[in-house]
Every structure is written in C-alpha cells, then in structure tokens.
Amino acid sequence: MPPPFDLYGEMPPASPVVLSVPHAGRDYPDALYAALRVPAAALTGLEDRYVDAIALAARSGEATIVQRIGRAWIDLNRAEHDRDPRLDDGAQAGHLSTKVRSGLGLVPRRTSAAGELWRRRLRADDVSARIADAHRPYHETLARLLAAAKARFGVAVLLDLHSMPPIANSAARIVTGDRFGRAAAGRFVHRVEAEVAAAGLGHALNAPYAGGHILERHAAPAAGVHAVQLEIDRSLYLDEAFDRPGRGAARIVDLVRAIIDALADEAMAQPRALAAE
C-alpha cells in the first residue's frame, strides 16, 4: 500500500530547507465516515485548510512532504503514546498531556465546535495499524530528508507549516514556534520574524503555538538540524467561508517563499564547520 503522503523534490535535497505539511490532508477512509457521529463537514475544523496549496505554490525545488489523509484519522503532530483513554482501548494509564485531556490526542476525540466526534470507542489494533501505516512512514521519511539535507549542506532547517483560526484580541497573524528556543537557533527565528514584519503582519513567538511532536522529534540544533513551526492565520489566505483559497493567497505564498529563502540564506551563511553549532 502506498504511503498516505506526497513527496516532492529530489534526493538528496536541493536546499537545506525541508518543508513539512502534516495537517492539511483532506482524504478520509470509508471506515472513518462510518464511525462519525457528526456531519463530515465538522472535520474541516481539524484541517489546516489548504495550507498545502500555499506550501506547494511557494516551494521551488525544496524537499517537501505533504500528508494526504486527514488529521481526524491520525495526528502526525502527536507522539505515538498520546493515545486517549476516553476513546482508544490501547491507551495506557498514566500522565496525560494537556492536548490528550482536551480531546486532541493521537486520534482526535472531539473539537470545541462539534463536540464528540465518534459513535464508538476505537480498538487498540485499529489505532496501532494507523500508527504503522500513516504515522511512522511520515516521520521516517521526514527524518531521512533532514539527514540527507544535513549531509549535503552541513545544516538542515525544517519548516513545519500549519494554519490557525484568527486569535481573538491579538494582532498576531503569524505565530512562529521553536519550543522556546529548544528547536532552532535564534538566528533562524529572527529571519522569519523579519520577513513577517516586512510583510506588514503582526507576529508572535511560541504563543499560543510553540510547536508539537514534529519539532520535538526532529529538531536537534546542537547537531545542525533546526526546526521552526509556522502558523498562518487562515483569514489571510482563505475565502470568507474559510473553505477555499481566497484573494489573499498570493500574498501568503510570497511570504512563505520569502521565509524559505531567508532560512536557506541563513543556513548557507555559516561555514560548514560551524553549521552544527
């Protein structure tokens, strides 16, 4: 069975910047529809709606991995152990993360807008199969891309692309996450911030999104692998219904392209001997 993601770019990567789009998938297995207790349209609230279109329009040869299957099936930005005991028979007792407690674990249980999503609990082997078929292949492929970029350029930079609903009572339209400095050297974050400012958009760092499992798993700044999560306000690039790319999409494509170029420039500006920092 082919993996449920699309891979773009050559190997080894043509750039030190590698793009990841884990939450924009719009494909849903029949088994998911059969288990829903809410209308299928409710699942779009879990999607980073069409941010894949932004990424693919902005890329220019960069290695890029884009998940096709929807986040409601499995969330690639959660760890394998982030299984919800209120939904998943395979969940282990013990400390639960805030995300799991809120219903947004490895398989999302609920959303704030739609409430509980599923008619019945999930069998342990069902979730284990989703991990084996969708979660592990994505992360293994992303790890290979970053390792190949690091081997070629002496440094690799992961740009993990997401979108967010507008933040109430905040001027921030773009949120950058670096796990409070643990996922990337500050010079990379500063370059992203500069491009956002040049575009005339409000920016926040790590609040309310600091980066999830993808940054935690793949970032290793001391070894020359840096990772930045980029959250884009959906009102910047979607139509008024938040359903399709709108009039602002071209501007956001240009911004993401400028960010990619800035990250690549920053990566290549350092001597190879210092790239691992």
pLDDT in tens, 159-195: 999 999 999 999 999 999 999 999 999 999 999 999 9
The answer to the question of residue 40 being in a domain is no
pLDDT at 155 over 50: yes
**pLDDT classification of 12: cutoffs 50, 70, 90:** very high
For the record, the structure tokens of 20 come out as 């990841």
Q: Please state the rounded mean pLDDT for residues 60-74.
A: 98
Asked if residue 112 belongs to a domain, the reply is: no
Within its chain, how far is the Cα of 257 from the centroid? Answer: 17
- The pLDDT of residue 95 is 85
Does residue 276 carry a pLDDT above 80? no
pLDDT at 3: 87
Flag whether 233 is in a domain: yes
**Does residue 157 sit within a domain?**
yes
**Residue 42 identity (one-letter amino acid):** A
Q: What is the bridge-based pairing of β-strands 172-177 and 225-233? A: antiparallel
Which residue stretches of the chain are H helix?
30-35, 51-58, 98-101, 124-130, 136-153, 186-198, 213-218, 249-269
Q: Check whether 132 has a pLDDT greater than 70.
A: yes
**Looking at the predicted structure, is the pLDDT value of residue 156 above 60?**
yes
Residue 85 lies inside a defined structural domain of this protein: no
Average pLDDT taken over every residue of the chain: 96
Q: What is the tens place of the pLDDT at every residue in 204-256?
A: 999 999 999 999 999 999 999 999 999 999 999 999 999 999 999 999 999 99
Residue percentage of the chain with pLDDT more than 70: 97
What's the rounded mean pLDDT across residues 73-85?
Answer: 98
Q: Is residue 70 part of a domain?
A: yes
What confidence score (pLDDT) does residue 275 get? 43
The residue segments making up the domain with residue 142 are 5-31+46-77+133-274
Residue 133 CA: distances (Å) to CA of 47, 130, 138, 159, 271: 20, 5, 9, 24, 39
Q: Which CATH number covers residue 265? A: 3.40.630.40
Tokens of 106: 């490895």
Q: Is residue 99 part of a domain?
A: no
H-run or E-run covering 229:
strand 225-233
Q: 174 near 232, Cβ under 8 Å? A: yes
In a domain, 69, yes or no: yes
The C-alpha atoms of residue 274 and residue 57 are separated, in whole angstroms, by 32
Nearest to 87 by CA among 68, 73, 76, 70: 73
Pick from 173, 184, 249: nearest CA to 214: 184
Domains: count for the chain: 1
CB-CB neighbours of 266 under 10 Å = 21
Specify whether the CB–CB gap between 253 and 57 falls below 8 A.
Answer: yes
Percent of the chain with pLDDT over 90: 95
